[in-house]
Structure 1
Amino acid sequence: MGKSYPATTTGTAVPGQWTVSGYDHGQSGLKADAYAVCAFPITGVTTNRYTATTSDYVTGGVLMCPPGKKVVGGGAASAYSEDSLVASRPALAAETGKTDGWWVQAIGLRPERTVEMYVACG
């Protein structure tokens, strides 16, 4: 899996869309399923994005919601086909000790790893 995140309203994306993609490294017959959970519109939802870059084997972190907001979604996108997402999940205030957020980790073999982290807060 290389990308799974809420589409932003830039370019051709519109609210309510989700971006998903992966990479085929020569394996024939690979299959991926994508699922979306849809709900009535939630007012005041914002999507924040942060790009993390490191030379370490693992990159990522927690992208937090503003105080008073709760996580309603999130995701991540690795920048290179050699990188893989290994974690993309909610990080609740009980874990972080602060506020809700979205936890992301990516690994790879390139000298530099870059991952875009997304959190949708409402």
Structure 2
Amino acid sequence: MRTALFLAALLAGCGKTEPRPDPGLERKPVEADVPAYAGLEYVDGTCKRNAGFRSMTQEYRGDAKPEDVLAFYRTTMPVHGWAETGADGKTLIFTKNSEKCSITVGTDSHNKVVVKVLVAYKG
């Protein structure tokens, strides 16, 4: 009887395990030097830091004109030390030290503006 109880208790602990998040991965909507356009809703994002470098993705959505959002980033990113190094239609490219930031602005099927931000090591 004791053996059966021991085995039942042991097997009860052998259920499905939840995946463990990467300890270096943070979920946060705004980095201090990569601002978000006011009024947009934070949808998703991650930020991972490793050896002084970061890899970050952010997505925002809401009511705004794409041209207003692009103008915001064009004027705000340099205030935070970023230099615009390129643009391709709806995507702005900035660099700062050893990082590259691309900001893509578009619209979804509901005419909501969608902003996708990617920061990565530019090396």
Greater relative CO, 1 or 2 (CA 8 Å, sep 6+): 1
By the TM > 0.5 criterion, same fold? no
TM-score normalised according to structure 1 size: 0.30
Greater radius of gyration (CA): 2
Write 1 or 2 for the structure with the bigger share of helix: 2
